[in-house]
């Protein structure tokens, strides 16, 4: 799995002009699922995401996690995180998991976060979405369950 994690003051996602998910302070997570990913990958990613110490403490240092601040999550599926543009000009998405399996692992990730008492909003899996992110900082972190970066 891959994730783009952004600290956000407030963010939302809409489909066909209708808002389907929104959060106040917290994290926006764009999550891609790779062929062969498992629930173990999802658990690793969610533990990493909710425990990342990327929110400022009283001294202005990145020292607090989503759990520490009682923040919210906006999770959006994004198969394009597995786009490979090394050859030619059109990305290949052959590493992205098929939609059925990817949807199941995405849902598993959402439920994992909810079991940690985190308020989670989502986009609509497979839909064309408009994501509005008020990236705070800005702070953007890249994660990969294979620990490639």
How high is the pLDDT of residue 143? 98
Residue 56: the pLDDT is: 96
CATH classification of the domain holding 88: 3.50.80.10
Instruction: Give me the mean pLDDT over the 61-72 stretch.
Output: 98
Query: Which long-range contacts (C-beta less than 8 Å, at least 24 apart) are formed by 82-87?
Result: 82/2, 82/32, 82/34
CA distance 9 to 83: 28
Global pTM reads: 0.96
Domain span including residue 71: 2-144
The answer to whether residue 12 sits within a structural domain is: yes
The pLDDT of 119-131, averaged and rounded, is 97
Burial class (CB in 10 A: 0-12, 13-18, 19+), 102: buried
Residue 72 counted as domain residue: yes
Q: Judge whether residue 2 has pLDDT over 90.
A: yes
- Checking if the pLDDT of 149 tops 90, the result is no
> Which pLDDT value is given to residue 36?
98
Q: Is residue 42 part of a domain?
A: yes
- Supply the mean pLDDT for the chain: 97
Once rounded to an integer, what is the mean pLDDT over residues 46-71?
Answer: 97
Active site residues: 78-80
Domain count, the chain: 1
DSSP string, the chain: -EEEEEEEEEEEEEETTEEEEEESSEEEEEEE-BTT--HHHHHHHHHHHHH---EE-TTS-EEE-HHHHT-EEEEEE-GGGG-B-SSSSS-B-TTBPPHHHHHHHHHHHHHHHHHTT--EEE--TTS-EEEEEEEEEEEEEEEETT---
Query: For residue 149, is it within any domain?
Result: no
Residue 85 is predicted with a pLDDT of 96
Q: If pLDDT is split at 50, 70 and 90, which confidence band does 68 have? A: very high
Stretch 120-141: mean pLDDT: 96
- Which token pair is 23? 């959060």
Q: Which two tokens stand for residue 37?
A: 């990913």
> Would residue 132 count as lying in a domain?
yes
């Amino acid at each position: 799995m891959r994730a783009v994690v952004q600290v956000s003051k407030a963010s939302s996602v809409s489909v066909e002009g209708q808002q389907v998910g929104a959060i106040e302070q917290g994290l926006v997570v764009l999550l891609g699922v790779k062929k062969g990913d498992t629930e173990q990958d999802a658990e690793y990613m969610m533990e990493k995401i909710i425990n990342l110490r990327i929110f400022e403490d009283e001294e202005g240092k990145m020292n607090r996690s989503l759990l520490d601040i009682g923040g919210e999550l906006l999770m959006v599926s994004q198969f394009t995180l597995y786009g490979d543009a090394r050859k030619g000009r059109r990305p290949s998405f052959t590493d992205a998991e098929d939609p059925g399996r990817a949807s199941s692992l995405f849902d598993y990730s959402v439920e994992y976060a909810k079991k940690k008492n985190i308020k989670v909003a989502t986009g609509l899996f497979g839909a064309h979405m408009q994501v509005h992110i008020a990236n705070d900082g800005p702070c953007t972190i890249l994660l990969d369950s294979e620990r490639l970066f």
